[in-house]
Copies of this chain bind each other. A is one copy, B any other.
């Protein structure tokens, strides 16, 4: 089984430690604290040694982004699995709550991954949980049917592209969707929901509500209720 040579094992272990150290620095002291020298110091090696593993400081940060995405996805899946109701509405609610909880517990990671003007985000696993769930959500006929004519024609092209993304995401988890189920109206509503979910969470994490919020959780719940109602779920 373990075809890895001794050298390969050691290398993999060191790489794991590098990621772990980088992550710890980000959490403890923010983005600017994730320096090559600080990471090396944590491992008891020197900074240039890190260049045996990453081409540059920037490449290491990108890897960090990917790790964060993977961890977030795992957290969201865990909360999704904890929901045993079997109802899609409850599952959506669980994942949205999990997203908010994760963002509030990991503000630095959230800022790095979701609110940086970076070009190449790890789009592969980014939000795969959302996509999968969104696909299932649309597939379930609980969502009110919206005619394709409701959405402006200029958006059709983009939404068709998103349609394909959703089909791919869901089929990766072994579920195939009928063509007719995924109409553009429904897809449009999912995008609108993402806007509201992301908007609320980001505003909360960055403290950019126009007034001091003392009870953020019920406000989130309230937004979620409205969002689900608008999609076609009853609260």
> A residues bordering B, Cβ < 8 Å?
30, 107-108, 111, 114-117, 119, 121, 126-127, 130-131, 134, 151-152, 154-155, 157-158, 161-162, 165, 188, 191-192, 194-200, 202-203, 205-215, 218-219, 221-223, 226, 230
Contact = CB atoms under 8 A, between A and B. Distances in A.
What are the 5 closest A-B residue pairs judged by CB atoms, nearest first? A199-B199, A115-B115, A162-B211, A154-B218, A195-B199
A196 to B, nearest CB: 6
A200 B195 contact: yes
Contacts of A226: 192
Contact of A206 (B30, B116, B162): B116
B202 A198 contact: yes
Contacts of A195: 196, 199-200, 203, 223
Q: SS class of chain A's interface: helix, strand, loop or mixed?
A: helix
Contacts of A119: 207
19 contacts: A108-B117, A115-B115, A115-B202, A115-B206, A116-B206, A117-B205, A131-B210, A152-B221, A157-B214, A158-B213, A158-B215, A165-B210, A191-B209, A191-B210, A192-B226, A194-B209, A195-B200, A195-B203, A230-B230
A197 B196 CA distance: 9
